[in-house]
């Protein structure tokens, strides 16, 4: 089956021209579709009519559900395009029009793009919440509170002659603005949404030959890394995207962290360290045939560090858990595939716990930049609170509100639209 969607003032004209008449609004109706020029029946299908503004784009919309064959689609599309004023839509144009007509805010449009692109169930759930206003409502609530605080401060300007009003109103606004600062700071620190959208970054680290590439291969179930007995063969970062029980994770094999012998390897090590610094979790692979794991973690990582004792098939007797490692400890054999299920289970539980809960997260760099700008502006306003006069203080708060407004598209976003809607495909 194919669906043709038409939007704009000519949608009704085109539908009438092909189907003979307009169906009852929002009800599917069986219709013979004719070429308006020749009268030839091109196909039989379902016609729907959504008069604006109660439509997806806010404009008049028509939809034709027709047979999916190439010739049928070409014939019906060709006939539709003979109607003056109609042209093929650009990528994301339906969503863009919906935004411009106030049917959705910018975060919802982004959520829709994410929903279409979602690969895992966790991504789908998060994107769905965004597509239907989760973040947008939160941001509008923040902005509303700022605007109220601004009005209180401005009350001081309007009633400048009445002595008690200014001080009283400003005093009322201050705790509200301080609370907002705390909420924005917490939202910026919250990585849960990004963890779901972009996936958890899991770095595999360890000495050369510990079995890092073998582990990556075993988890990816395909050959992506070169496994060799030669220390230092993993010259580049190798990344694999995994779906761990509905959670996206990116696994990075870091180059053997040791003194570099060649420049290429030094670069690999530099990048490995940088990637490890961003990781949500570091897996330290230790070769058990070299003896027990070191008592202390050999690298400092901000993220939790798990100890994986590899080559358990070669180790005589299992070593006792190392007490000083705070994180999880597992033994496995990457080469034989032993202990991998336990590992993937632990990984997916780790991500699920971190990503837990329904939360209006700041998902994208764009959201974070707006929130950060608003946060900095509010912090500045609070720091200057008693020194600034009412007008300047109100202006500071207005700038913070503007920064938030850009996130939902309530304010000045013309320059952003191309960036946001470029992600969509035709027909969305």
Restricted to residues 206-265, the positions that interact with ligand GDP (CB under 6 A) are 206, 208-214, 227-229, 234, 256
Cα–Cα distance, 87 to 343 (Å, whole number): 53
| CA–CA distances in Å: residue 132 to residues 37, 112, 170, 227 | 42, 8, 36, 46
By C-beta, is 27 or 336 nearer to ligand GDP?
A: 336
CB of 201 to ligand GDP, least distance (A): 18
Out of 10, 95, 310, 408, name the contact with ligand GDP by CB under 6 A.
310
Out of 146, 169, 334, 363, name the contact with ligand GDP by CB under 6 A.
334
Out of 157, 335, 379, 416, name the contact with ligand GDP by CB under 6 A.
335
By C-beta, is 169 or 218 nearer to ligand GDP?
A: 218
Cα–Cα distance, 372 to 63 (Å, whole number): 42
Pairing of β 305-310 and β 29-34: unpaired
Query: Does 174 carry a binding-site annotation?
Result: no
CB of 315 to ligand GDP, least distance (A): 9
Q: Can residue 331 be called a binding residue for ligand GDP (CB under 6 A)?
A: no
* Contact in structure between 204 and 215 (CB atoms under 8 Å): yes
Cα–Cα distance, 390 to 343 (Å, whole number): 59
* Contact in structure between 416 and 406 (CB atoms under 8 Å): yes
CB of 216 to ligand GDP, least distance (A): 8
Query: Does 289 carry a binding-site annotation?
Result: no
Query: Does 233 carry a binding-site annotation?
Result: yes
CB of 269 to ligand GDP, least distance (A): 13
Residue whose entry in the numeric block shows the structure tokens 């609170």: 385
Query: Does 82 carry a binding-site annotation?
Result: no
By C-beta, is 16 or 289 nearer to ligand GDP?
A: 289
By C-beta, is 208 or 246 nearer to ligand GDP?
A: 208
Cα–Cα distance, 330 to 345 (Å, whole number): 12
| Per-residue contact flags (x/-) with ligand GDP for residues 266 to 305, judged by CB under 6 A | ----------------------------------------
Out of 134, 247, 311, 364, name the contact with ligand GDP by CB under 6 A.
311
Compute how many residues bind ligand GDP; rule: CB under 6 A. Answer: 21
Out of 95, 123, 329, 333, name the contact with ligand GDP by CB under 6 A.
333
| Per-residue contact flags (x/-) with ligand GDP for residues 168 to 187, judged by CB under 6 A | --------------------
By C-beta, is 95 or 310 nearer to ligand GDP?
A: 310
* Contact in structure between 92 and 425 (CB atoms under 8 Å): yes
Region of 58-66, 132-140, 203-211, 374-382 interacting with ligand GDP (CB under 6 A): 203-211
Q: Which residues bind ligand GDP (CB under 6 A)?
A: 206, 208-214, 227-229, 234, 256, 310-311, 313-314, 333-336
Q: Which residues sit in the known binding site for GTP?
A: 209-214, 228-234, 253-256
Q: Which residues sit in the known binding site?
A: 209-214, 228-234, 253-256
Q: Which residues sit in the known binding site for Mg(2+)?
A: 213, 234
């Amino acid at each position: 089956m194919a669906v043709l969607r038409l939007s704009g003032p000519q949608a009704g004209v085109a539908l009438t021209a092909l189907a003979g008449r307009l169906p009852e609004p929002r009800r599917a109706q069986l219709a013979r579709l004719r070429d308006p020029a020749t009268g030839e029946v091109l196909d039989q299908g379902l016609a729907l009519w959504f008069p604006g503004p109660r439509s997806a784009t806010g404009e008049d919309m028509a939809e034709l559900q027709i047979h999916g064959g190439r010739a049928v689609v070409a014939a019906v599309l060709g006939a539709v395009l003979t109607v003056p004023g109609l042209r093929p839509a650009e990528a994301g144009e339906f969503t863009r029009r919906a935004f411009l007509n106030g049917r959705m805010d910018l975060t919802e449009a982004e959520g829709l793009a994410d929903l279409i692109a979602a690969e895992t169930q966790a991504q789908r759930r998060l994107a769905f919440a965004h597509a239907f206003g989760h973040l947008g409502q939160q941001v509008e609530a923040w902005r509303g509170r700022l605007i109220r605080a601004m009005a209180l401060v401005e009350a001081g300007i309007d009633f400048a002659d009445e002595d008690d009003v200014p001080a009283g109103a400003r005093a009322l606004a201050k705790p509200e603005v301080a609370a907002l600062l705390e909420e924005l700071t917490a939202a910026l620190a919250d990585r849960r949404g990004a963890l779901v959208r972009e996936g958890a970054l899991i770095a595999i680290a360890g000495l050369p030959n510990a079995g890092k590439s073998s582990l990556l291969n075993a988890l990816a179930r395909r050959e992506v890394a070169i496994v060799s007995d030669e220390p230092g063969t993993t010259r580049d970062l190798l990344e694999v995207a995994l779906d761990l029980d509905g959670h996206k994770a990116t696994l990075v094999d870091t180059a053997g962290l040791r003194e570099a012998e060649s420049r290429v390897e030094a670069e690999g090590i530099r990048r490995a360290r940088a990637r490890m610094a961003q990781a949500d979790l570091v897996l330290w692979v230790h070769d058990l045939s070299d003896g027990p794991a070191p008592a202390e973690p050999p690298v400092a990582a901000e993220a939790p560090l798990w100890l994986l004792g590899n080559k358990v098939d070669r180790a005589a007797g299992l070593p006792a858990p190392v007490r000083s490692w705070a994180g999880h400890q597992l033994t496995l054999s990457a080469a034989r595939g032993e202990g991998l299920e336990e590992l993937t289970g632990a990984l997916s539980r780790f991500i699920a716990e971190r990503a837990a809960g329904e939360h209006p997260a700041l998902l994208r760099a764009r959201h974070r930049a707006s929130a950060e700008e608003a946060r900095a502006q509010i912090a500045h306003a609070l720091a200057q609170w008693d020194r600034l006069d009412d007008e300047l203080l109100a202006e500071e708060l207005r700038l913070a509100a503007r920064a938030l407004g850009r996130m939902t598209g309530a304010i000045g976003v013309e320059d952003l639209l191309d960036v946001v809607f470029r992600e969509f495909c035709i027909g969305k």
